[in-house]
Structure 1
Amino acid sequence: MLYWRVTRPDFGDAQIDVLADHFSPVLSSPEHIPDEWTLLKARLYLEPQLLTTLTWEDVNRLHRDTCPNVLELIDLILTIPASTADCERGFNIMKVVKSDWRSSLKADTLSDLLLMQLSSPPISEFDPSAAVELWHTDCIRGRRPNFKDCSKQVADTDSDMSDSEADDVVIT
């Protein structure tokens, strides 16, 4: 298959023309794409043994200055999802979040709730201690003025006592 591509210099030209025509409203210079496609193919096939190890990031980094428009088209095509599973998952979660009881949520609130639902770790892996501590301490006026963090309280009492006082403490 690789030999056929190397010996046929016109492979992919018709498909690139169709894609460039279709996406021309969002591309910066679609008229340069066919020439850049030919140039990109020629540069990539100068060393065919490297084709098995090159990643898309390598191609982008190496040829961004000489073939920017065709790489822009390929980046655009790579952003198209292969399936609609992610979209369907998002709509299912939105149905759970925006129930009949919460039908009047504003767009920002709904967006924030969906982001938390889609991006958060499972509840079994979540450790809320950092969030609780931030909630207690990061405000203008204390939420619970009598709240004392037990872990800090033990450390504070140990450091405040002198050695002679520590000897006098009787634990029952």
Structure 2
Amino acid sequence: MSFFLQDVLSVLHTTCLSLQANNLTFSEVSDYITACKKAVDELKSRNGSYFQQFLDSVREYETELEIEFHGHTIPANKKQRENFAKSSEKFLTFLSDNLASRFVENDDEISSAFDILVPSKLPTEADQIAKYGDVEISKLGEFFGTDKTDGDGNTVNPPLNKAKLISEWSLFKHVMCKYRNQEFTEFWEWGLKTHDQAYPNLCILATICLTCPVTSVNVERGFSRYNIIKTALRNALHTDNVNNLMMIKIEGPPLTDFDFDEGFKLWCSRKDRRVLSPKFIETVKSKCTDVVQPKVSETAKTNAVGEELKYSQEDVEIMIETVVSKLTGVLSKFGDTQQDKCTRDF
């Protein structure tokens, strides 16, 4: 049973990862769910890879009442084999029905109609493009191009004009043909900047589609990042700092691409740092005779009126060398391995 469940969970795990991808579209959700249901149904008629490996490893016990597997004795009489076959089929049927009830195909015609805005969905034949998306654009125009009434009974004006939307679509779908290989989000980020004047109603529709969240994964991922950043020990972080750290964590490049040397230099150049002051350098000289004695350039000296200090590239490099030397001396007591590792990480 464990190997059988491993096959099932592998299918569900892959589907979950697919649904957590960024820039997911409504049509892709339907495709992933359909593929998942088909894969689950196929397990009824054929063994999964993990379960098949188990059967191959115990093939010699196929006619016996007990199976020896990695030191465990597994009862395997005829009745138990039949019960397993019935239970596994019943489980797969229940799982498939549950997926079908939770993700009904075409349960939302408006969401499905947005698929026409995906460049990769365009047909390749020229004669098919002429009528492509006409039904869907009419549905979208009817929904977003007519007056609505809010909960208080007030009339809400539509965000776009239905007739103009249909007219714009009849021309713009031919423009999209040149960009079939582009991602949906990438294409419309370019389209909103380039065609907002020529196709205003279509751009409004694309903005609505981009705004509608396909899943809540990004929201949950944001809360997870927030809990990692603002811990109990960092509960005094200012809101602006939290927001900046969240943006870097979610939208920024990988940590492996970060240049720590450049970051340290930028940190040093933003304002006067105690570690860069001439007084600090003299303190280092007097207390740490075993470190490299840094030289201070003229730009690091203050004048009589106390003007703001400005540090050159030479100053920054001097202090990087000083701090590393100081750190090396402190870490020497912990041994060579820890010292090398910490110095390298620093």
Aligned to 1:6, what secondary structure does the other structure show? coil
Q: Over alpha carbons, which structure has the higher Rg?
A: 2
Structure 2: distance between partners of 1:116 and 1:142: 27
Deviation of residue 150 (structure 1)?
8.9
Match of 2:168 among 31, 36, 40: 40
Aligned to 2:161, what secondary structure does the other structure show? helix
Does residue 88 in structure 1 map to residue 220 in structure 2?
A: yes
For residues 13-162 of structure 1, the aligned pairs below 5 Å read 13-21=138-146, 30=158, 33-44=161-172, 51-54=176-179, 56=188, 57=190, 61=194, 64-140=196-272, 143-144=275-276, 145=278, 146=281, 149=314
Structure 1: distance between partners of 2:148 and 2:233: 42
What is the one-letter code of the residue matched to 2:256?
A: S
* Contact residue 39 and residue 67 of structure 1 kept, 8 A: no
* Superposition TM-score, scaled by structure 1 size: 0.59
Deviations 1:54-91 (A, max 9, x none): 454458745x4354134223223223333222222111
Structure 2: distance between partners of 1:9 and 1:122: 43
Cα separation, partners in 2 of 1:16 and 1:96, compared to 1, 3 Å: same
Q: Which runs of 5+ in 1 are unaligned?
A: 154-172
Deviations 1:83-117 (A, max 9, x none): 22222211101111122333343322221222232
Structure 1: distance between partners of 2:198 and 2:146: 21
* Contact residue 136 and residue 142 of structure 1 kept, 8 A: no
Deviation of residue 130 (structure 1)?
1.5
Does residue 6 in structure 1 map to residue 134 in structure 2?
A: no
Aligned to 1:53, what secondary structure does the other structure show? helix
Structure 2: distance between partners of 1:11 and 1:122: 40
Aligned to 2:131, what secondary structure does the other structure show? helix
Structure 1: distance between partners of 2:147 and 2:214: 18
Q: Which runs of 5+ in 2 are unaligned?
A: 1-122, 151-156, 180-186, 282-293, 296-313, 319-346
Deviation of residue 17 (structure 1)?
2.0
Structure 1: distance between partners of 2:201 and 2:263: 46
Cα separation, partners in 2 of 1:44 and 1:59, compared to 1, 3 Å: farther
* Contact residue 20 and residue 30 of structure 1 kept, 8 A: yes
* Contact residue 30 and residue 69 of structure 1 kept, 8 A: no
Structure with higher RCO (Cα < 8 A, 6+ apart): 1
CA RMSD across the alignment: 4.0
Structure 2: distance between partners of 1:51 and 1:143: 57
* Superposition TM-score, scaled by structure 2 size: 0.33
Cα separation, partners in 2 of 1:103 and 1:133, compared to 1, 3 Å: closer
